[in-house]
Amino acid sequence: MQRTHTCGELNAEKAGERVVLAGWVHHSRHHGGVLFVDLRDRYGRTQVTFRPESKQLFDRAEKLAHEDVIKIEGTVTVRPPEALNPEMPTGDIEVIAETLEILSKAKTPPFVIEDEVNASEETRLRYRYLDLRRPEMRDALLLRSRITQIAREYLTGLGFVDIETATLVRSTPEGARDFLVPSRKHKGKFYALPQSPQIYKQLLMIAGFDRYFQFARCYRDEDLRADRQLEFTQIDIEMSFVDEEDVLSMSEGLIARLIGEIEGVVLPLPLPRISFDDAILRYGTDKPDLRFGLEIADISESATQSGFNVFSSAVEKGGAVRAICAPGGATVSRKEIDELTAKAQKLGAKGLAHAKFENGELTGGVSKFFNENEKNSYLEILKPDNGSLILFVADSADICARVLGALRIELAKRLELIDETKWEAHFIVDFPMFERDEETGRLVARHHPFTQPIAEDIPLLKTDPMAVRARAYDLVLNGEEIAGGSIRTHDPETLRKVLAAVDLSQKSINEKFGFLIEALQFGAPPHGGIAFGYDRMVMLLAGRKSIRDVIAFPKTTAAQSLMDGTPNEVAEEQLAELGIKIIEDK
C-alpha cells in the first residue's frame, strides 16, 4: 500500500508514529513561517504541517494547489493546546511532514469542494466527479451502500436467494415506454431493457426458488422528475406459498429495520393499512403524507340544500363538495388565497371557495351565501378550531380529491405543519384492478395484469371490470410511494380473463404472454411479491429532496448526462451493422 493510514483515523494515541498519508489538498493556510495543508480522502481530513526547517520541502509545499493529489510521510504530533480543533475528529493531532510527493497535479477546480453548495446543479452535474468529492454527496453514496448491506442481510437472513435476471428482455406493450436495443444478429428485431424483472421473478417462483430478491436496475423511457430517472433501482422481491400478510410483514420488517438502524427511530409495527378508496376520500391521493392531519371532509350531503349555488349544483350533477380545515390558517392573506386558487384551477377545479372560522362563526369568503342549517352542519363535520381557514372544492369527486389532496400538502408546507423529524409509514390496500386510459378510453391494469383480482370480484371481470379490486398493496413513507406489489395470478385461466378484460384478443395474448401462460401450466405455486423503489427510499433516509442526490451519475430532467454528453450520435458504420436508418426530424 502507498499509505499507512487514511485521513480520518489518526488521533492522539498515534502520537509519535511515522505515517504515510495520501489524498487531496483540501485547503492550505500559509503563515509565512509555517504552512498547514488539510489533506482529504473519503474517510476524513488530517492537518499536515510543513515547517521551515527543511527549506527545499517547504518551497515545494508552498506551490501546492487545491485538489492536488499528494503523498506525505511524517510524524503524528499532538498539537499545541491552543491549536487543538475540537470540530475535527483528527483535530488533536497534526502530521509534521518530512517528505512530499506530488502524485497528480490538479487544474483549478470550477467550484470549491465544500459542503455549502456554491455551484449550480448544472455545473455540479457537468463535473460530477468533483461534486462527489463533497462530503455531503460522499455521505449520501456511503449511506446508500450501507442501506444495501442492511437490506441484503435482512433478506438473506429470511432465506431469500439473490438471483440476477436478464437485462435484454422481450418488449411488451403494457406500461411505460421501453428502451430498445437493436439486435445485430437479427436485423429489424430488438431487445428491450426491463422496466422491472416482473415476469422473470414469477418464472423463478415456478422454477421453485421460493424466496427471491434482487437489486434490479430498471429502465423506463418516460419524462424525468425529482424522484424519477430513466434508470433506477428496485429491491425486487417475490415469495411462494404466501398471501398478503406474509409479504406485508416481510416488507414492514425491512423498512422498520432500515429506519431503526439508520435513523435510530422505532417504527411501531404492524403498520397501519388504509384502503385505496379511503385514502382518496380523506387525503386526495393514494400516497398520503400522514405526518400531519388536515384531513379532507366530505360535506356533499349538507351541501345539497346549500344557499351557494355552486355547491348545490355540483352535488346535483353527481359530483361532490369537500373541504379541508387548516388550523391557524385564518392568517393566510388574500394574496396567498389567490395563489392557492390558481393552483386549484391548474389542477382542474373551476374555482376555490374559502371561509374562515373566527369567534365561533364562519366568516368571509363564501360564508355569506350559506344558510344557517348548512353552516351548523358544516361546523359539525369540520369541527374547526378558532382561527381556521376552510377551503372548499365543489366538482366531480375525482377533481375534489386531486385538488384538495394537492392543497392539503401545500397548506401543510405553508403553515409548517410537517414534522420533518417524524417517520410515518403505512400500507395502501384494496386497489381497484383497472383504470381508464383517458386518452384511448381503454381499460388498463392499474398495477399490472399479473395481479390477482380479489376472488369474489372475479365474476365481475366480464360484467363490471371497474368494480374489480386487486390483491395489490403499496407502501408509503412520508408521503412517498416507496414500494408496491401484489399477489399474482398463478392460474392461467384467470390470467386469460384479466388480459381479455384489458381488451387483448386471444391471439395477442398468446403472442405476447403465451410463454408465461404456458409456464403457469407446469405447476405454478401461489406467489406474490413487492418491489421497493430503492432510490426514493435512500433519498428519504438521506434526507434529500431529489433521487439525483443519491445516484452517482444521474441524468438531467432533459434525459442527458452533462458530464459525458449522453445520449450521443453514433457512427454510420455502427448503424449499418444494425440495419438502422435515422429519419431526420423535419
Partner RNA sequence: GGGGUCGUGGUGUAGCCUGGUUUAACACAUCGGCCUGUCAAGCCGAAGAGCGCGGGUUCAAAUCCCGUCGACCCCGCCA
Output 195 or 233, the one with its CB closest to RNA.
195
Output 322 or 356, the one with its CB closest to RNA.
322
Task: Enumerate binding residues for RNA (CB under 7 A).
Answer: 27, 29-34, 36, 38, 47, 49, 51-52, 65-66, 79-80, 82-85, 87-88, 91, 94, 108-112, 118-123, 125, 174-177, 195-196, 198, 220, 222-228, 346-347, 437-439, 444-449, 546, 548, 556-558, 560, 562
Q: What is the dihedral of CA 511, 517, 518, 524, to 10 degrees?
A: 160
Q: Which residues lie closer than 8 Å to 269 by C-beta, 6 or more apart?
A: 249, 252, 253, 256
H-helix or E-strand containing 384? Answer: none
Say how far apart CA 327 and CA 379 lie, in whole Å: 14
Output 319 or 529, the one with its CB closest to RNA.
529
Kindly state the smallest distance separating residue 404's Cβ from RNA, in Å. 14
Residue 371, classed as helix, strand or coil, is coil
Output 132 or 562, the one with its CB closest to RNA.
562
Residue 282 has which C-alpha cell?
A: 380523506
Say how far apart CA 450 and CA 444 lie, in whole Å: 12
Kindly state the smallest distance separating residue 422's Cβ from RNA, in Å. 20
Output 36 or 369, the one with its CB closest to RNA.
36
H-helix or E-strand containing 38? Answer: strand 35-41
- Give the rounded distance of the alpha carbon of 139 from its chain centre: 18
Say how far apart CA 354 and CA 433 lie, in whole Å: 36
Kindly state the smallest distance separating residue 536's Cβ from RNA, in Å. 11
Say how far apart CA 358 and CA 336 lie, in whole Å: 18
Output 110 or 514, the one with its CB closest to RNA.
110
Kindly state the smallest distance separating residue 181's Cβ from RNA, in Å. 18
Kindly state the smallest distance separating residue 28's Cβ from RNA, in Å. 8
Contact by Cβ (8 Å): 276, 432: yes
DSSP conformational letter for 466: G
Kindly state the smallest distance separating residue 84's Cβ from RNA, in Å. 6
- CA 286, 287, 291 angle in degrees (round to 5)? 135
CB atoms within 10 A of CB 245: 9
Say how far apart CA 242 and CA 60 lie, in whole Å: 68
Kindly state the smallest distance separating residue 279's Cβ from RNA, in Å. 15
Output 119 or 290, the one with its CB closest to RNA.
119
Output 315 or 406, the one with its CB closest to RNA.
406
Kindly state the smallest distance separating residue 435's Cβ from RNA, in Å. 7
Using alpha carbons, select from 139, 107, 433 the residue that is nearest to residue 262. Answer: 139
Say how far apart CA 178 and CA 542 lie, in whole Å: 30
